[in-house]
Amino acid sequence: MMSRQLYQGMQRIKSSEFWRIISSSLSIILSVSLVSSNMFSIAKIIILSILGILNSILGIAILILKISGWGTLCKVKKFYCWTRSALLIFPIISIIIAVIGVSSMFIFNTSYLTKDILWLRKSMSSILLITTILFVIGYIFEAVSLFDISNIYRNVLLKIGSLIYLGSLVISPFFIKVKDYGLIYSVIENVLQIFTSLAIYLGLSHIQKTIIYNQHYASQG
């Protein structure tokens, strides 16, 4: 029974990684469209906003797949239950803090009335930083869990993927800051994301094959 849960859990995590590749590719297109042109028409902003919203919906779908995947794997190991809980709780806390932060920014401070864009930008950056740190904690649990699976199954590809994943999460505040300085950093972040997801996807696929193989082997005994 355990092998079935393992296989199913990994399958959902694999699906989430597949959609993450799509989401990162969409993010690259969005960044390039936003930065490459100096002309911002209302129509362009609306189209880009719609794409942005679609990407956010995709992000939620990815998160649900991850929670579901780790929820299935939870029956196998206690740490994976923590991963599932972290993936569920921290994004919620992060969103609540973002809503409270932005609301209080407008309710308790009237600086926006003076059209101080710099002040708004600074406040938004601080809120973004705090919420990003909280948001990625769940993903840190996931990266460590993937690293654990890679160790158990001695899968090099998954190990590389999980370590790059962990590394990219740790340096995520850096990416928030440097995105201001150019398109290249945003593209690097997303390319890194695609590479990581691909490595995790292939690593998990290989492990799934091992699980099936071992099941056959066990039945022969």
Q: Of 21 and 206, which CB lies nearer to other proteins in the complex structure? A: 206
Question: How far apart are CB 95 and other proteins at their closest, in Å?
Answer: 17
User: Does the CA dihedral 175-53-37-126 come out positive or negative?
Assistant: negative
Q: Following DSSP, what letter does each residue of 81-96 receive, concatenated?
A: HHHHHHHHHHHHHHHH
- Nearest in space to 176 (alpha carbons), one of 216, 212, 131: 131
Question: How far apart are CB 63 and other proteins at their closest, in Å?
Answer: 18
What does the binding site for other proteins look like in residue numbers (CB under 8 A)? Answer: 2-3, 6, 34-35, 38, 40, 42, 45, 48-49, 52, 76-79, 82, 112, 115, 117-118, 120-121, 124-125, 129, 133, 136-137, 140-141, 143-145, 147-148, 151-154, 166, 169-174, 176-178, 180-182, 210-211, 214-215, 217-218
Q: Of 139 and 201, which CB lies nearer to other proteins in the complex structure? A: 139
Q: Of 44 and 95, which CB lies nearer to other proteins in the complex structure? A: 44
Q: Distance between CA 198 and CA 162 in Å, rounded?
A: 11
Question: How far apart are CB 151 and other proteins at their closest, in Å?
Answer: 8
Contact between 138 and 177 under an 8 Å Cβ cutoff? The reply is no
Q: Of 21 and 128, which CB lies nearer to other proteins in the complex structure? A: 128
202: its two tokens: 């292939």
Contact between 98 and 127 under an 8 Å Cβ cutoff? The reply is yes
Question: How far apart are CB 190 and other proteins at their closest, in Å?
Answer: 16
If you search the block for the tokens 């029956």, which residue do you land on? 75
Q: Of 21 and 95, which CB lies nearer to other proteins in the complex structure? A: 95
Length of the chain: 221
